[in-house]
Chain A
Amino acid sequence: MHRVLVILPLYGGSLPIGRYCATALKDLGCLVETFEAPEFYSAFQALQGLKVSSDRQNFLENSFLQVVSQAILAKVEAFQPDMVLCLAQAPMSRQALQRLRSMKVPTAMWFVEDYRLFTYWRAYAPLYDIFAVIQKEPFLAELTAAGVANPLYLPLAALPALHAPTPLDPKDMQEYGAEVSFLGAGYPNRREAFARLVHHKCKIWGTEWEDAPALAPLVQRGGARISPEDAVKIYNGTHINLNLHSSVDANTLVSGGDFVNPRTFELAACGAFQLVDKRSLMGELFAEDELATFDSMTDLEEKIPYWLAHPEEREALCRKSRTRVLADHTYQQRMRTLLDFAKEHLPEFGTRPEAPMPESIPPAMQKELQDILKEHNLPAYASFNDIITALRHKEGVLSSAETALLFLDAWNTLYASKE
């Protein structure tokens, strides 16, 4: 049974993806712990609000990140994972990564960002044992040239337990329902593009839409961040979900870039209809008849009325795209790919000795043990150490059987090695 410690970022778009990874890994039978970096975010914000010199600010922020990195190392020491999986912007210092390497703890980064925008990858990528990315060439070759031993193309995905068809009640329909919607951050190309679509009375959800007066009446909830659960309601309540990949270039509204964003998979898994801009890597992820696409603003403007007028065709397409995502593009599949890749490429992965279930569990206790396995979502082949780890991490009061197992483990630690 593999143990994976998932390091979440402090904030941002990769945060929910980290949580989806943790869920998927659990579904695959892994023992998973997450490092809840978002809980440290308010401390970081407080530092940012100090109004001190930039040198001092910089020093304080670095000190803060060192503390968080040390907390991660302490968690690694306690949990003894087979792999530390970091999501983009995880607060993992270079020093901490070097320490993990010297401890022979395999590390993986899923860099779910555009390498052209987030160029800091060069300083960190070689420190990870696996560097998974959502883009292909020339990025993969560049990673190898930069000294990354194990680059891996790992496109984004959906989490079927969350991203699912969801009927809305009338109240939710009132709030979330629309003919045309967009959910996402207000990148320059989107601001420019949606300014041309105001006549559709499109609802715009998400952050960073300030300073766009033409769109202000369309922005929902004052531009607040939207939770993943609310996003599913928006997707399900909308006839046409616009999905325009982000670009910082306001001159090229439909950028024709390479990677496929998470929204593409999430919308498809929801069985919601989307009009998505074509991407160079889209063809190997979806067939032509599984997505409705556009390749220019003119194309988009022509297709909106068509699809609004053909609900049956929309539904047929949605069924196809959902079937494809469930078959090939779930986070469970991505995590399976990552684990298989680790097995193949990292000699240290999965070599932690497994303690067998001791014969000390009396037959009468077997039933309770099975209940414990079930409660903690552990497979029947879980080792004694895995059960103990799960019990240690359980929140709240333990049962007498659970406590007796912890007690036995402590007793073994104190005495068994001395016999």
Chain B
Amino acid sequence: MNHLLVVQLARLGDLIQSKRLLLSLAAQPGAQVHLCVDASLAAFAAALFPFAHVLPLPAHATGGATPESVFTAARHTFAQLQEIPFSAVYTLNASPLSYAIARLFPPEVVCGYSCPNGQPMRHPWLELAARWTRHRLSSPLNLIDMWAHLHPSPIAPQAVNPVATPAGQGRIGVVMAGRAQRRSLPVPVLVACVEALFRAYGGPTIVCLGGKGEVPLARQFGRQLSPHAQRKLEDTTGRTELLDLMELLPTLDCLITPDTGLMHLATHFGVPVQAFFLSSAWCFETGPYGLGHNVWQATVPCAPCLETAPCHHNMACLAPFSQPGFLGHLAGTQAQQWPQGLTGYRSALDDLGVCYHPAHGTDAGVEERTSRRALLAELRLHRLEPAAKGAEALFQEADWMLP
């Protein structure tokens, strides 16, 4: 048996975005895939990726974790891991936790973030990724594909998620907020967008989704909806666990969401996504994967920004989402002019992975992004790409000269 391990210690979204790599590994002859995740996500990961043997680690400071419990639990899992003769170990997070775990295995089997003889190292591919993500506007590859291409021959992008198709049950989901508040639409703006889509979908049931923290938001949201929409409201916030959502999401005709883990879970089931990306969220990095999704991406000059940096632009990226031209488009009326600072993208797939084509508005980074994507296609797909330009900006001397 070919034992392969993926160590993914980040949160829900990143776990789901490891899917293409996991599927690629599972497709290898005689493969047994093992997956290390934070203990809080272990049951969910096992349900999401039933082919994988999931091992929990206390990677997050949740659930009353203490140093003693962390040490004991980690020691237990590491002892299990050392019993398995892995032929490859994929450590996906640039975190001191990943570097620590990498020490458990012979350096030659570790791919990703490794630490041979105590020297932290990035796989050349991840080194390249760190370089291209410094120029986010022209960022050429989605996170799912970045991880997937650690594998020499990842499965086809079309085989990752089903083509987005409405469930036909007259229900749309609304994710109240993501982890970063600035990346979510404020309630009045969200209400306007949902009302527009409510009209476009012919008055479906509106299912509010979120954890306990989103309960007040959902109440506020409900109060601001039109009476007609209020009558169709089904508030599930604070009452659903991840495993419940695995049953709920497939019943939806679409999911209205900021850049969240639930968005990625919806794409896993082929639920059409209407994604609202603003502030630091950038669809070319973490947009919905698969065919048939819409991304409404803020493209004001300061976007995408840094999540950790304060906004000195009075959240200018929010304004386009309230413009009549956009809301009219969402509702299907399209009478008004498309607003500045917003681009409507439609997800697409090519041989490299997911990409996004502008259907509305402008895309300032498209030329450079296309060139860079072609450079990456040459590198990973081993073929000539006439569009490949700007190699000197992406590749450095070390790529060319050093082993």
Residues of A near any B CB (own CB < 8 A):
358-362, 365, 391-416, 418-419
Contacts and interface: CB of A to CB of B under 8 A. Distances in A.
B68 A403 contact: no
B104 A400 contact: yes
B70 A398 contact: no
Given A392-B118, A414-B95, A414-B97, A403 B71 contact: no
Contacts of A404: 71, 74-75, 78
Contacts, number: 86
Instruction: Give the interface SS of chain B, mostly helix, strand, loop or mixed.
Output: helix
A360 B96 CA distance: 19
B47 interface: no
9 contacts: A397-B103, A403-B104, A406-B100, A406-B103, A407-B74, A408-B67, A410-B96, A411-B58, A419-B61
A409 B100 contact: yes
Given A365-B75, A397-B105, A403-B103, 4 more contacts: A361-B71, A391-B103, A411-B59, A413-B96
B72 A362 contact: yes
A414 B68 contact: no
Contacts of B72: 362
B314 interface: no
Interface residues of B, number: 28
A418 B105 CA distance: 30
B82 to A, nearest CB: 5
B39 to A, nearest CB: 12
Nearest to B62: A415
A397 B99 contact: no
A352 to B, nearest CB: 20
Given A400-B82, A401-B75, A404-B75, A410 B95 contact: yes
Instruction: List the 5 closest A-B pairs by CB distance, nearest first.
Output: A360-B67, A410-B96, A400-B78, A415-B61, A406-B100
Contacts of A398: 103-104
A400 B97 contact: no
A399 B61 CA distance: 24
Contacts of A416: 67
B106 interface: yes
Contacts of B118: 392-395
**Best-buried of B68, B75, B82, B101 by chain A (most CB within 10 Å):** B75
**Best-buried of A391, A393, A407, A414 by chain B (most CB within 10 Å):** A407
Contact of B67 (A395, A406, A411): A411
B117 interface: yes
A414 B96 contact: yes
B336 interface: no
A407 B67 contact: no
A395 B58 CA distance: 26
A409 B101 CA distance: 12
Contacts of B104: 397-398, 400, 403
Contacts of B68: 359-362
A409 B74 CA distance: 12
B61 A414 contact: yes
A370 to B, nearest CB: 16
Contacts of B61: 411, 414-415, 418-419
A203 to B, nearest CB: 41
A403 B101 contact: yes
A419 B67 CA distance: 12
A392 B102 CA distance: 11
B66 interface: yes
A400 B81 CA distance: 9
Interface in B47-86: 57-59, 61, 66-68, 70-72, 74-75, 78-79, 81-82
